[in-house]
Amino acid sequence: MLDTPEDILMLIPLVSREVVLRLLQTEHAPRITAALDRTGASVVVGVTPLLNGRMAEGWSMEQLARKLRVSESTLFARFEAATGITPAQYLKRTRLGETRRRMVLHGDTAAQAAAPGGGGPECVALLQEPPGGAQETAGGGCGGGAGGSLHCAFSNWRG
């Protein structure tokens, strides 16, 4: 950014959302979401620990919404408004990050590292692609199943 200061205004929203996303993956998530949106804070605060704590489980938007006692569209809209990404994208990034962490720290292969986090073969394929590859940019999810199931992503749900 220092080399091209004229790009700073365009990049500020993207950098801000990236910082929020990273902070939501820490223990400070409740404070961050409360500061972002007083009305939707409880939704985002409620869903991030569920997704972080039980990454390997299959989830659906319906299950998450029921657990948080909100509608699916409210969950989706408030999460996306606060983070700039969908719950599916959040879970996908979290699982990919965990898989990468296991590869670096434990020397696991991509397949070994993806298995405990529920990633499966789709995560392995994403890890083998160069950054910004076709599957990642097309919205393919690691483990995203049919019918809006969320083994790694709510890939088929758009509310």
Q: Which one-letter DSSP state was computed for residue 37? A: -
Query: Could you tell me if residue 156 is inside a domain?
Result: no
Residue 159 forms part of a structural domain:
no
Determine the pLDDT at residue 128.
57
User: Which amino acid makes up residue 96?
Assistant: L
Residue 5 to residue 15: CA distance in whole angstroms = 14
Q: What's the pLDDT band for 154 if we cut at 50, 70, 90? A: very low
Give per-residue pLDDT as tens, 7-16: 888 888 888 8
- Domain count across the chain: 1
pLDDT of residue 41: 57
- Rounded Cα distance, 41 and 35, in Å: 8
In a domain, 158, yes or no: no
Assigned domain for 155 exists: no
Q: CA dihedral defined by 83, 19, 112, 120, rounded to 10 degrees?
A: 20
pLDDT score for 34: 60
Q: Does 50 fall in a domain? A: yes
Residue 119 belongs to domain spanning: 5-150
* 15 belongs to a structural domain: yes
Q: Residue 148: which pLDDT band, with cuts at 50, 70 and 90?
A: very low
Question: Could you tell me if residue 114 is inside a domain?
Answer: yes
Report the predicted TM-score, pTM, of the whole model to 2 decimal places. 0.53
pLDDT at 71: 86
Confidence of residue 95 (pLDDT cuts 50, 70, 90): confident
The answer to whether position 119 is within a domain reads yes
